[in-house]
Structure 1
Amino acid sequence: MSITLLRHGETERPGRYHGRSDIALSRQGFSQMEIAVAGADWDHILSSPLRRCADFADALAQRLNRPMSSDARLCELDFGEWEGCTAAELQLRVPEALGRFWSDPDQHPPPRGEAVSSLRDRVLAALSEQAAVHGAKRLLIVTHGGPIRVLLAQRDGIALNQLLSIEVALAARIEL
């Protein structure tokens, strides 16, 4: 199986922790993703159900005449009480908690948010299941920074407390 990961592009509300918030792509974000996939083809497209991923995945699947499905386990980390906030806002309100999260996001998740180990478990389960379903096909997974970081950390043997050190740009296309 060949797996390509694609992070969503810029959203309508950039620079914020949008884990489970269903924020749409900006026009620029859609264009970023179009550029990232130019000239490529896949047998199946799998997406997070959140609009910033699913809208593009659906449009691409229609254009390529390929099947598309979604899996909620590919959603971004749940940022709990930090949902919709910028890092600057959190730095003013809760600097110690934000610093602990940045230094070890698994042991110090956002208040009422999700631990990174939970994100890892659900993303790896989704990938394992999809690998069994799609076999040797070329699969495009359209998802978020968190799930991509988890998959790269798993591949490269990086500990969960180092997850935030993995850079994943908007609209990044990564061959797994």
Structure 2
Amino acid sequence: MTETIVDLIRHGEPVGGRRYRGHNIDDPLTEKGWTQMWEAVGDDHPWTQIMTSPLQRCQMFAHRLGERYGIPVAIEPRFKEVGFGAWEGLRHDEVKIDRAHEYRAFVNDPVNQRPQGAEVLADFIKRVTSAYADTVEKYRDQHCLIVAHAGVIRAIVAQTISAPPAGLYRIKISYGGVTRIRHTEAGGVLELLNAKLASRA
């Protein structure tokens, strides 16, 4: 039976602290963010291909990792983070306090109560999962790594376990956390969530 393995790693901590950082915010990683990612992968490099979001908090690490181990890297624009509209760049505490009504509405109904100008959740999920399906098909029988964002990984995990869109933000994705999905003829199975490959050696 053939298997395709896809690992997904969330970027590490970016410059600027905790804020709504969608695809219009392109902060680089902090030194701690780089450390989080290197510690997560350790000396493990089983991948035949690396795919990455175009945003620098993902692709800078992807290219460095690819160069270190001689693994090809491709940028996939559809793996960029969800757009947060009017919340882009705002700190989490700012939104909770200054936009309390909007925040509560979003938490209770993230599908229909989006921030003003935010990407429609269904559109986001469609673009991410179509990119993911293309990746799985193109690299069939291989072991790939996708360097991406919390929202992107949530969308892929939710599709894998048949969770509804309303539950997306109930999936915690940690900085530098590794998720693994194993695909067989029977479909995809979620094997790891927020793991460190280095600790599994």
Q: How high is the TM-score relative to the length of structure 2?
A: 0.85
1:10 aligns with 2:13: yes
Q: Is the 8 A contact 1:145 1:168 kept in 2?
A: yes
How many residues in Structure 1 have an aligned counterpart in Structure 2?
Answer: 176
Match in the other structure for 1:28:
32
Q: Secondary structure at the match of 1:4?
A: strand
For the Cα contact (< 8 Å) 1:44–1:66, is it kept in 2?
yes
CA–CA distance in 2 between the matches of 1:35 and 1:98?
Answer: 34
Which of 120, 125, 131 matches 1:126?
131
**Is the partner of 1:25 in helix, strand or coil?**
coil
SS of the counterpart of 1:11?
coil
The percentage of counterpart residues that share the same residue type is 31
Q: Write out per-residue CA displacement over residues 119-166 of structure 1, whole angstroms, 9 at most, x where no aligned residue.
A: 110011101111222121110000000011111111122111111111
More strand by share: 2
Structure 2: gaps spanning 5 or more residues: 182-201
Q: Is the 8 A contact 1:7 1:170 kept in 2?
A: yes
For 2:78 and 2:114, locate their aligned partners in 1 and report how far apart those are by CA, in whole Å: 18
Partner SS state of residue 93, structure 2: helix
| Alignment of 1:44 onto 2:44 | no
Does residue 1:70 correspond to 2:72, yes or no? Answer: no
The equivalent residue for 2:192 is: none
Q: Determine which of 55, 64, 87 is the counterpart of 1:59.
A: 64
Deviation readout 1:21-55 (Å, 9 max, x if unpaired):
11100010011000111122210000001000000
SS in 1 for 2:141: coil
Do structure 1's residue 105 and structure 2's residue 110 form an aligned pair?
yes
Question: Do 2:132 and 2:156's aligned partners in 1 also have CA atoms closer than 8 Å?
Answer: no
Aligned residues: CA RMSD: 1.0
Mapped contact 2:11–2:148 kept (Cα < 8 A) = yes
- CA–CA distance in 1 between the matches of 2:71 and 2:166? 37
Indicate if the aligned counterparts of 1:104 and 1:160 stay in contact, CA closer than 8 A. Answer: no
Counterparts of 1:172 and 1:47 in 2: how far apart (Å)?
15
User: What are the ranges of 5 or more consecutive residues in structure 1 without an aligned counterpart?
Assistant: none
Q: Give me the TM-score of the superposition, normalised by structure 1.
A: 0.97
The answer (yes or no) to whether the contact 1:9–1:33 under 8 Å persists in 2 is: yes
1:116 to partner: Cα distance: 1.8
Amino acid at match of 1:162: G
